[in-house]
Amino acid sequence: MIRIRQNLTKTWQSQFEGATTQITVLSPYITPNDTLPLLKDKDARIYTLFQVRDFVSGASDIKFLTSLVKAKHQVYELKTLHAKVVMDEDSFVTLGSQNLTDRGAGGNLELNVCFDGTSREITCDMVRSKVESWIAKGKPRLITGERIKQMEKRIEAVREAYEEFNGQAQKEQDAADAEDALLGEPEVEAGQTERQRADESNWIEIRKKVRKASASTAVHQGVISCYDDRTPFLRFTAQDLLHWPRKDGSIEQLYPRKRYLCILNEREFGWARLAKTQITRIAQHITLGRIIPGLPKVEVELWAQGELGEKAPPGTNLVAILLIDDELVCTVPMRYLLANPEVKAAIPPSRSAVDEVRAPPKETKAVLKWLRENPRKFKLAISKHIASNNDAPGHRKTYGGDAQDFVGPHLTTVNMGVAFKGKNPILILTTQP
């Protein structure tokens, strides 16, 4: 049988479990992934590149490679390798674009083919023959602990120069992305074009900030599960979602039942409460309570969706709703990009809306006047709670909607990592096609 796959991770895991002959892996780049550790008790050999620029750029991860060598895996350097092949000697061959990396498992557009069953005799043998000839001619060198130590010294020798170069390159790329966003196809309505451009600019800036944040070295895969009458939840294969390794080797502990800001596909905001192996609820609004020092009677709700609709200024991705005794005072549009929010002018309740329970005009005027005179105080009061994992006094519990309402329907597959923005861990969710 010939099967086309965008993501081979689950296929590899299943094939490794059933393999009875030697497994060969060709992956030019290797970073932390859930697949290679499954080879621990298998007869396997791994071929990859072993170049300074690949490690310093992050294309490959020297620490993860070290862990493979320490686990007694047979890891070899095969120069000029570009093919991505995983195969045994009898039952399967996969080839395509996917490296054994975290981005290969979810961040990139990949296309692969898997051969097994009755189709393997000719096609698979041709692939095996070609790979064996590469190995014979390429004279691969075993990657040892001593070679890794020498490589680590070389990485440090060029790291500063690379980071300076990469910073400048990223700056130019960000400028190019921003220009492309502004040169998009014109829409029929000018207002709609401006809004779309602003939304695209948000996405570019959020992506940039996520990449610059100190990220965890682990990525866990989960699936939306919705069976019978049970509450839908996002369940992960990992046995522990509460401890996340940083790049410096330290471990960041997260806590169950506390809320964490999460970003879906670099575009959608939500707040999730973790359990050890799953996420059941993800809220798209939270109640912050009476957090504004100058407005002791005002309660604040924070919404991550477009509650204002077309009333919201272009670029709005968060809205603060201010209430007194559950009566609407005003809404404050914001643009949040993993840093202090850009706060826009407050919008009082619409006089024509019949379903709004509005605060008395006198109180509304007083709040609007305070907001105009104290924009910095308001911004500071809001910004420290957006990504904070600790509930502020007066918070109501953040239960939110079912995970599927935020992530996607039954069997949607998700990769989750953590970005550390200062002291605040932010969950980064990416759905797989």
Rounded Cα gap, residues 80 and 50, in angstroms: 10
Residue 21: per-residue pLDDT: 92
Beta carbons within 8 Å of 328's beta carbon, 6+ residues apart: 321, 322, 349, 356, 357, 358, 359
Residue 133: per-residue pLDDT: 94
Q: Cβ(344)–Cβ(335) under 8 Å?
A: yes
Per DSSP, the residues of 213-228 read SEEBS--EEEEEE--T
Cα–Cα distances in angstroms (integers) from residue 122 to residues 83, 86, 92, 93, 95, in the given order: 19, 17, 12, 11, 15
Rounded Cα gap, residues 187 and 198, in angstroms: 14
Residue 75: per-residue pLDDT: 96
157-178 core/surface letters (b: 16 or more CB in 10 A; e: else) = eeeeeeeeeeeeeeeeeeeebb
Query: In 10 A of CB 7, how many CB atoms?
Result: 20
The model carries a pTM of: 0.53
Over its length of 433 residues, how does the chain's per-residue pLDDT go in tens digits? 788 888 898 889 889 988 889 999 999 999 988 889 889 889 999 999 999 999 998 899 999 999 999 988 999 999 999 999 999 988 899 999 999 988 787 667 899 999 875 555 688 888 999 999 999 999 999 999 999 999 999 999 998 888 788 778 877 876 776 666 555 544 444 445 566 777 777 777 777 777 777 778 888 888 888 765 666 788 888 888 888 888 778 888 888 878 888 888 877 888 888 888 888 788 888 888 899 988 999 999 888 865 556 667 778 888 999 999 989 999 999 888 887 788 888 888 875 444 568 888 889 999 999 998 898 899 888 888 888 765 544 444 555 677 888 888 888 898 888 888 777 888 888 888 6
Closest CA to 318 of 177, 197, 192, 199: 199
Per DSSP, the residues of 306-325 read -TTGGGSPTT--EEEEEEET
